[in-house]
Amino acid sequence: MTKRTSADVRAKHKEFLFPSLANYYAESVCLDEGNGSRVKDLDGVEYLDFFGGILTVSLGQAHPKVNARVHAQIDRLGHVSTLYPTVGIVDLAEKLASTAPGKLKKAFFCASGTEADETAVALAQMHTGNQELIALRHGYSGRSMLAMSLTAHSKYRGIPTQIAAIKHAHAPYCYRCPFGLSYPSCEVKCARDIEELIQTTTTGRIAGFLAEPIQGVGGFIDAPDGYFKIAVDIVRKYGGVFIADEVQTGFGRTGEHMWGIQHHDGVEPDIMTMAKGIANGLPLGAVLATTGVADSWTAGNISTFGGNPISTAAALAVIETIEEEKLIQNAATQGALLREGLLGLKARYPGSIGDVRGKGLMQAIEMVADEVAGDRTPAPDKVGRLFEETKKRGLLIGRGGLYNNVLRVSPALNVVREDVETAVRILDASLATFAS
Ligand SMILES: Cc1ncc(COP(=O)(O)O)c(C=O)c1O
């Protein structure tokens, strides 16, 4: 077989794939193999991967335990659909129920985060008998018609919002407070404003509120303490349920807890969605709901790929490894080190770095024109530059934010101290080439 090169794959990508599938970097990286946090491209260039396929390869590439389970399962039974119960599907459902906050107990499996969010919204509507839904500006829910309507980024909406019943509340975006206020003297006005949003733009009875505990694609916008309690109390007052979208924040990503919402005291979701990190890269999404809410879905319901035996085998291996290797604690420890490193960069480049935020191994820096001069104009060009410089030095990172000016850093949960230090060193050397 002729050896494939990056140039060849880039050319074929351009010729045969939708052009809307944009790749990172001026010259895209064609990854071909990986081990743990190290990945290699087709030309043999090695990188330290600090984005993990968008927070998805939660245990690193080619994880021995996950791969062993996947190999064993695929040789035994590859697919049955949701029409047949399997050991994998019931064991995973039971395991998820044991880790979930509050009274979440029953599971529905699908193949992506988009489907999980779709299912959650339909379930909220069936349960409450109400149609209208509150989502958040800067939120991202996926690429179906409903998920695009929930999503609040114009660049991910090829067509106008199709679902009229969705209202977007202000995001808890403290660095760019929509009310020009500061926390905590703001008294979390962004959460309190949801009441007026419901009173003025809905029938006054809503199905629910869907929100990410930390807005991922939005640039790791981390709601301040108190936000979710206030918001969810208002939502319940008007008949709605709370859907926590844990697609990015789940499975220990935020450190200290299995789920991002558990950082917020006194808040229990009625429905929770998850995908990405659940199965180390195998396609799997899930919805968890309380028994009372799950029972409201009385219509038929099938998912061909949902809870596929191979994906559930991988997911069980992921959760067992998180528990056995204490990776939630590792996310907290290495996350603290990463945060300290990023804050050090903010001190060295105070003009370019406006904000450092996130929890655990979900950390971001927002780049602006000149923070020192008080000019917070988003600087996507600086992030573009940083991308090219870090690539040259062997580090892969992520990008996000409505203005495309946020750098997202999210290594595998089992990342080691030396790799965090290397990543921060590379970021520093890269920023030194252009940032002030
Ligand atoms: C918070 C959140 N919800 C839902 C989705 C959609 O997931 P998927 O791409 O698996 O459909 C994403 C994807 O990035 C996400 O970040």
Write out pLDDT tens, residues 344-389: 999 999 999 999 999 999 999 999 999 999 999 999 999 999 999 9
Write out pLDDT tens, residues 165-214: 999 999 999 999 999 999 999 999 999 999 999 999 999 999 999 999 99
Longest dimension (CA), the chain: 66
Quote the percentage of the chain above a pLDDT of 70: 100
Write out pLDDT tens, residues 123-175: 999 999 999 999 999 999 999 999 999 999 999 988 887 788 999 999 999 99
Q: Please identify, by atom number, the ligand 1 atom nearest to the C-alpha of residue 217.
A: 16
Say if 169 falls within a structural domain: yes
Question: ∠ at Cα 364 (362, 366), nearest 5°?
Answer: 165
pLDDT category at 337 given cuts 50, 70, 90 is very high
Same domain, 156 and 287: yes
Same domain, 354 and 244: no
Same domain, 312 and 334: no
Whether 116 is in the pocket of ligand 1, judged by its Cβ within 6 Å, is no
Say if CB 30 and CB 12 are below 8 A apart.
Answer: no
Determine the average pLDDT of the residues in 237-243.
98
Same domain, 74 and 217: yes
pLDDT category at 76 given cuts 50, 70, 90 is very high
Same domain, 18 and 120: no
Give me the number of domains the chain comprises.
2
Same domain, 83 and 113: yes
Task: Decide which of 269, 296, 324 is a domain's last residue.
Answer: 324
Say if 125 falls within a structural domain: yes
- Give the H or E element holding residue 117: helix 113-128
Say if CB 266 and CB 226 are below 8 A apart.
Answer: no
Rg (the chain; Cα; Å): 21
Task: Identify the three-state secondary structure at position 326.
Answer: coil
Same domain, 48 and 83: no
Same domain, 57 and 73: no
Write out pLDDT tens, residues 251-278: 999 999 999 999 999 999 999 999 999 9
Say if 240 falls within a structural domain: yes
Whether 281 is in the pocket of ligand 1, judged by its Cβ within 6 Å, is no
pLDDT category at 3 given cuts 50, 70, 90 is confident
Of 317, 325, 320, the residue nearest 415 (C-alpha): 325
Whether 140 is in the pocket of ligand 1, judged by its Cβ within 6 Å, is yes
Determine the average pLDDT of the residues in 231-253.
98
pLDDT category at 393 given cuts 50, 70, 90 is very high
Write out pLDDT tens, residues 26-59: 999 999 999 999 999 999 999 999 999 999 999 9
CATH code of the domain containing 46: 3.90.1150.10
Which pLDDT score, from 0 to 100, does residue 164 have?
Answer: 82
With both helix axes pointing from N to C terminus, report the angle between 417-431 and 327-348 in degrees, rounded to the nearest 10. Answer: 20
- Determine the distance separating the centroid of ligand 1 and the alpha carbon of 186, expressed in angstroms: 30
Same domain, 215 and 174: yes
Whether 53 is in the pocket of ligand 1, judged by its Cβ within 6 Å, is no
Say if 436 falls within a structural domain: no
Task: Decide which of 299, 324, 349 is a domain's last residue.
Answer: 324
Whether 362 is in the pocket of ligand 1, judged by its Cβ within 6 Å, is no
Which pLDDT score, from 0 to 100, does residue 173 have?
Answer: 98
Say if 221 falls within a structural domain: yes
Say if 212 falls within a structural domain: yes
Instruction: Give the other-Cβ count within 10 Å of 31's Cβ.
Output: 18
CATH code of the domain containing 133: 3.40.640.10
Same domain, 38 and 179: no
Question: ∠ at Cα 178 (176, 182), nearest 5°?
Answer: 65
Task: Decide which of 324, 355, 375 is a domain's last residue.
Answer: 324
Which pLDDT score, from 0 to 100, does residue 424 have?
Answer: 98
- Determine the distance separating the centroid of ligand 1 and the alpha carbon of 132, expressed in angstroms: 21
In degrees rounded to 5, what are phi and psi of residue 288? -115, 140
> Which domain, by its residues, includes 375?
6-62+326-431
Residue nearest to atom 1 of ligand 1 (CA): 247
Whether 215 is in the pocket of ligand 1, judged by its Cβ within 6 Å, is no
Which pLDDT score, from 0 to 100, does residue 37 have?
Answer: 98
pTM: 0.98
Say if 207 falls within a structural domain: yes
Same domain, 51 and 170: no
Same domain, 98 and 211: yes
Q: Choose one of 114, 149, 249, 311 to mutate for the ligand 1 pocket test, by most ligand atoms within 8 angstroms of C-beta.
A: 114
